[in-house]
């Protein structure tokens, strides 16, 4: 269905549209196209933006042509890979969307243990190919997430503590800068560009190809997934805090508070009750012993409501949360790093879980450290490597009439945690609606990133959170 005419910008004209269509192999969609509304929709149902034109690129040449068009027409640019950033960075009003989703190819090099990934691929695309050979690269925890957005902002996931961020496993990228030039960037070629794409949020160009290192993972991993009643929140977090002090890098746990889902897998007597859950995975190593044994100290923190722990295919672990985050649900997520997981933080988690207006919302505590902290803070644009934890308020709900209540809940809970002395910094993949100063995300790396943005995108056409100096 075409959109209302008042949403149509002056650009492109019919002549400009024809010229662009002739320059690219992919489809060019404007407001009168039957697929326009589907193409402008992103994962977060709160985002409702109307680009002037969407170019569904089939390759790097299409990206170059699209950026040439954006310069000629002076349109702002958004880049879409998976469209999963909660702030809706993948789409822009009255601008040009470079849609990379057709560029989703994945090729595994078994000999060198690397994987080449197109700019439009999802985590699931990568895992499906690498697991064929018992390999994986550290990515996120929801398989429908775009590799590009996740990686360009750092990228946490189940393998992070052992192998680092997604960005830390990059060997090289192909990136198209706004002047239409195509660059290969690595540690030895265009090192400034390579520094910026590893955590800089895509402010210096459009990454069309990623090359990652892979590691031996799977096909099965030990999985921890156990739920306790909300009354046990303090006890469960106390045990987790003790466990995390000397946990092996081959294991990681993500505790979160929630409400018990009204589904048959959980006892009906607990439906809708506040809860605290532990989700984690482990790979065996000589130091830690059998992978499943590493979680034993966590299992008797309290009496579980439900326990789904056990061996699981790594590819299934990567996709097990997909159904909890469907396209079109309404989302507002905001995160803050923590230098310590104190009682004050835990008390706030319990308090705000009780008052959540949506039973779908959670408050997550990411266990960090490990390999992430091995990399110097100035080695990449990603800055917050020394933080052992991150707290993320996830407001998830269904009805637009409930927008204000849910956003207010998340913002107030986030503000309460952020006001504590142990709170520091922000994470680019959970940014709310980009309300906070970018310096909180990039820290002491902000000035260098701003200088590079001024060099490669002086008009800030890509609309990144870091403005040119």
CA distance 460 to 468: 7
Tens of pLDDT, residue by residue over 297-331, are: 999 889 999 999 999 999 999 999 999 999 999 99
Residues 77 and 114 in one domain: no
| pLDDT of residue 9 exceeding 70 | no
Contact between 366 and 427 (Cβ < 8 Å):
no
Same-domain status, 161 and 295: no
Whether residue 1 has pLDDT greater than 60: no
Q: Distance (Å, rounded) from C-alpha 392 to C-alpha 157?
A: 14
Q: What token pair was written down for 224?
A: 């921890």
Pair (85, 133) in one structural domain: no
What average pLDDT does range 279-296 have in this prediction? 75
Q: Does 438 map to a domain?
A: no
Residues 210, 145, single domain; the answer is yes
Does 256 lie in the same domain as 118? no
| Domain at 33, CATH number | 3.30.43.10
**Shared-domain flag, residues 286 and 320:** yes
Co-location of 122 and 159 in the same domain: yes
pLDDT tens per residue across span 271-284: 999 999 999 999 87
Last residue of a domain, one of 79, 99, 119: 99
Q: Does the model's pTM come out above 0.85?
A: yes
Where would I find the H helices in 153-285?
160-163, 191-197, 233-245
Rg (CA), the chain: 22
User: Per the structure, how many domains does the chain have?
Assistant: 3
**111: exposed, middle or buried (C-beta count within 10 Å: 0-12, 13-18, 19+)?**
exposed
Please calculate the CA angle 296-286-212 and round it to the nearest 5 degrees.
100
CATH number of domain containing 211: 3.30.465.10
Look at residue 4 and tell me whether its pLDDT is greater than 50: no
Q: How many residues does the chain have?
A: 469
Does residue 230 sit in the same domain as residue 170?
no
H helix or E strand, kind and range, residue 406: helix 403-418
* 136 CB neighbour count, 10 Å cutoff: 28
Please tell me whether residues 67 and 146 are part of one structural domain: no
pLDDT tens readout for residues 224-246: 999 999 999 999 999 999 999 99
Domain carrying residue 228: 220-418
- φ, ψ (nearest 5 deg) of residue 332: -145, 110
- pLDDT surpasses 60 at 289: no
226/127 same-domain check: no
Predicted confidence (pLDDT) at residue 11 exceeds the cutoff of 80: no
Q: Are residues 84 and 125 in the same domain?
A: no
pLDDT for 446-468, tens place per residue? 999 999 999 999 988 898 666 55
């Amino acid at each position: 269905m075409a959109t209302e005419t008042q949403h149509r910008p002056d650009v492109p004209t019919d002549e400009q549209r024809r010229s662009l269509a002739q320059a690219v192999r992919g489809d060019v969609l404007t407001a009168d196209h039957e697929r326009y509304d589907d193409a402008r929709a992103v994962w977060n149902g709160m985002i409702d933006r109307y680009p002037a034109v969407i170019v569904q690129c089939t390759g790097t040449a299409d990206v170059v042509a699209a950026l040439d068009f954006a310069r000629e027409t002076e349109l702002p640019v958004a880049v879409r890979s998976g469209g999963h950033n909660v702030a809706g960075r993948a789409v822009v009003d009255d601008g040009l969307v470079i849609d990379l989703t057709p560029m989703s190819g994945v090729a595994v090099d078994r000999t060198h243990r690397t994987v080449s990934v197109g700019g439009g691929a999802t985590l699931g695309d990568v895992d499906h190919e690498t697991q064929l050979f018992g390999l994986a690269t550290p990515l996120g925890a929801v398989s429908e997430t775009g590799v590009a957005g996740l990686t360009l902002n750092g990228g946490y996931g189940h393998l992070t503590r052992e192998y680092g961020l997604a960005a830390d496993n990059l060997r090289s990228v192909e990136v198209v800068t706004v002047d239409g030039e195509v660059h290969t960037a690595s540690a030895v070629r265009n090192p400034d560009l390579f520094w910026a794409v590893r955590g800089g949020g895509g402010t210096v160009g459009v990454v069309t190809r990623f090359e990652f290192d892979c590691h031996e993972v799977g096909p099965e991993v030990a999985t921890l997934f156990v739920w306790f009643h909300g009354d046990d929140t303090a006890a469960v977090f106390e045990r987790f805090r003790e466990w995390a002090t000397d946990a092996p890098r081959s294991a990681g746990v993500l505790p979160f508070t929630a409400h018990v889902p009204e589904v048959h897998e959980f006892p009906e007597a607990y439906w809708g009750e506040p809860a605290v859950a532990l989700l984690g995975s482990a790979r065996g190593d000589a130091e830690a012993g059998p992978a499943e044994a590493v979680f034993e100290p966590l299992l008797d923190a309290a009496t579980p409501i439900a326990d789904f722990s056990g061996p699981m295919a790594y590819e299934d672990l990567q996709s097990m949360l997909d159904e909890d985050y469907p396209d079109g649900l309404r989302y507002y997520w905001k995160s803050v790093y923590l230098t310590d997981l104190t009682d004050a933080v835990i008390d706030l988690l319990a308090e705000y879980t009780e008052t959540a207006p949506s039973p779908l919302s959670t408050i997550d505590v990411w266990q960090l450290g490990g390999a992430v902290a091995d990399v110097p803070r100035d080695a990449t644009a990603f800055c917050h490597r020394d933080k052992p934890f991150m707290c993320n308020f996830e407001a998830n709900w269904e009805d637009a009439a409930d927008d204000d209540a849910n956003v207010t809940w998340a913002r107030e809970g986030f503000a309460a945690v952020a006001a504590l002395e142990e709170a520091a910094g922000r994470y680019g993949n959970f940014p709310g609606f980009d309300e906070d100063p970018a310096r909180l995300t990039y820290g002491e790396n902000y000035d260098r990133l701003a200088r590079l943005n001024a060099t490669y995108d002086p008009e800030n056409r890509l609309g990144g959170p870091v403005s040119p100096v």
